[in-house]
Amino acid sequence: MLSNTGPVAKLYLSIIDDVIESMRELYLDEGLEDRVLDDLRRIWEAKMMQSKAMEDFRKNNINSSNFVLQLPDSYGQIGRAHKATVVIPAGQSIHGFPNNSETLATFSLPAGLAYPVQIPAGVTLQTASGQLYKVNVPVVVTQAPMGQKPLSLQIQRAPAPQSTAAPPDTKLPQQVEPPPAPAPSVSQSPQADLPPSPESSPVQQPQVPTADATQLPVVPSPPAQENEPSAQPEPVNYSMTSSPCSQLLEEALAQTTQLKSRDIDDILKQVIEEEREKAERRRNLPPARTQDQTEAVLAGLGLDYSYSELSDIVQLDGPPDNSDAEEEGGAPLEENDFLGIINAEAIKALQEGGGSSDGNSLSSSSDSEGADKLSAEDEDPLNSGDDVIEQDIPDLFDTDNVIVCQYDKIHRSKNRWKFHLKDGVMCYAGRDYVFSKAVGEAEW
Amino acid sequence: MAYQLYRNTTLGNSLQESLDELIQTQQITPQLALQVLLQFDKAINTALASRVRNRVNFRGSLNTYRFCDNVWTFVLNDVEFREVTDLVKVDKVKIVACDGKSESTQNKNDK
């Protein structure tokens, strides 16, 4: 890499100094306190330190300390002597950035710091890489085997831990939120959450069998419920006490893996059988009972959920051209669609009719399912694979590697270009480089 | 007036973000923030002209070029930046260059 390590950081700090000092008088004229200017400087330096541009500066100058400790206002009132005893039990002196701010005091822990270090509650830790960790409970920081990143934080979990260090913990609440809201989307969300969910799966796998065991008595539905995870999670949530939503995700995940191994035809046939059983049950029930009618309505609603969910599953699997062909109404039906309709009609004939609406939704779902299955065999006649994808111009100019400079001379001879540049700042992979002169050649 | 070109650097962007924070908390006015940025433009132009003394060579293939309002914008691919002893390879880089010979440098706000 270019050797613009320390010099770049020093240049940046000198520019910061120049700007701050030149603004001091103006700030005083405006009637602002020095504190405001110091705040600006502190925030600016903090942002620069966090960015990789100053990574080398951090490596060179703060190589000894792995932390930047930011103490809140309350610590500032105590006094620096107290801070020393609080932070470092060994009583070693703290040196770092002198900071006159009333709100935060920033210290860097020295090199000879002996691990483990007790960090009291309410402090913010910043690692050498710039990551910030807010510690709300007393922690003990030990040295990692590599010795570089001491972030094997043995966090003594309080009832409400707020450490932002662990990515799986932050991901888990995000996973928890979607399932309770719309029930039909549960079957889809596990598929989307599959990458992060395995992180939490080892923790919660023992709970899955118990969840499965509690499903059947809670939900009043036919025993074959494996392909209707949406109807089950809500009652299960109420019955389970500990982390129901994460269990729910685990159930859905287990069920979707089962789903994946099945054929769509099998799923469809199972749904039809369940529907038949429900229809028979409904018929067997005595008529004109409001409670039964309510149950029938609820069962019908549940059935609709399964249909919409099933159609969603089917539509997800199928190619876009042949999905919802019948529901759109405008596209002419192809041979594949006809076959799909025939299949649905055959099934319907076996079923002896379970209601007009049910039959229509069944035919549409089976139709799209059949169309999807059959269209997979057809090749795209439009040869879309031959298209040459041209890079969009906005994307072409959108890059992180930018050189901002001035040009002395730009020369072109046929397709050979020559660049004479000066006073430039280059940002590559987050790191910064500067040059006073740059000469380049390129062929267009 | 110096080029505002360098506001789109790590240093310039972090300064703008910091000023935005202070404006949000109403510690400074937007007018004062603008003054800070103008002062930053002067400082960085001066610093780059006087405190930096190194030379870089580079070679690559030119993907696109654009010249508008006296500003060149290039996109190069597979570029090698070579300093005295070091080598950096970049698969894609954008170069934005303002006129370095113009004595009456107008406000070139470039992104």
pLDDT at position A388 is: 64
In DSSP notation, A55-120 reads HHHHHHHSSS-SEEEEE-HHHHHH-HHHHHHHH-TT-PPPBS-----SS-EEEE--TTPPSSEEE-
Residues 6+ apart with CB under 8 A from A402: A426, A427, B8, B93, B94, B95, B96
The answer to whether the CB atoms of A423 and B110 lie below 8 A apart is no
Gyration radius from chain B CA atoms: 17
For A4-61, how does the pLDDT look when each residue is reduced to its tens digit (9 = 90+)? Answer: 457 788 888 888 888 888 888 888 887 877 888 888 888 888 888 877 655 555 555 5
Highest mean pLDDT among A26-40, A93-107, A284-298, A359-373: A26-40
pLDDT, mean of residues A290-307:
51
Which of chain A's residues have a Cβ under 8 Å away from the Cβ of B95? 402-403, 405, 419, 421
The answer to whether the CB atoms of B10 and A27 lie below 8 A apart is no
Q: What is the ipTM of this complex?
A: 0.90
Read off the tokens for A4. 């613009």
C-alpha to C-alpha distance for A325 and A340, rounded to whole angstroms: 11
The answer to whether the CB atoms of A14 and B40 lie below 8 A apart is no
Confidence tier at A436 by pLDDT (50, 70, 90): very high
pLDDT at position A235 is: 45
C-alpha to C-alpha distance for A211 and A63, rounded to whole angstroms: 51
Question: Which of B6, B85, B92 lies at the smallest CB-CB distance from A399?
Answer: B92
Question: Which of B6, B55, B92 lies at the smallest CB-CB distance from A425?
Answer: B6
Q: Is the entire prediction scored with pTM above 0.90? A: no
For the beta carbon of residue A114, count every other beta carbon within 10 angstroms.
10
Q: Over 80: is that where the pLDDT of B14 sits?
A: yes
Question: Which of A1, A43, A437 lies at the smallest CB-CB distance from B18?
Answer: A43
Q: Over 70: is that where the pLDDT of A382 sits?
A: yes
Question: Which of B22, B51, B63 lies at the smallest CB-CB distance from A11?
Answer: B51
Q: Over 70: is that where the pLDDT of A370 sits?
A: no
Are B52 and A11 in contact by the 8 Å Cβ rule? The answer is yes
Using a pLDDT cut of 70, give the percent of chain A over it.
27
Residues 17-76 of B with CB under 8 A from A: 17-19, 21-22, 27-29, 32, 35-36, 39-40, 42-49, 51-65, 72-76
For A88-125, how does the pLDDT look when each residue is reduced to its tens digit (9 = 90+)? Answer: 444 444 444 444 444 444 555 554 555 566 666 766 66
C-alpha to C-alpha distance for A310 and B73, rounded to whole angstroms: 52
Q: Over 80: is that where the pLDDT of A241 sits?
A: no
Looking at every residue in chain A, the average pLDDT score rounds to 60
Q: Which residue has the higher pLDDT, A324 or A276?
A: A276
Q: Over 90: is that where the pLDDT of B66 sits?
A: yes
Read off the tokens for A33. 């306190």
Highest mean pLDDT among A59-73, A238-252, A260-274, B54-68: B54-68
pLDDT, mean of residues A327-348:
53
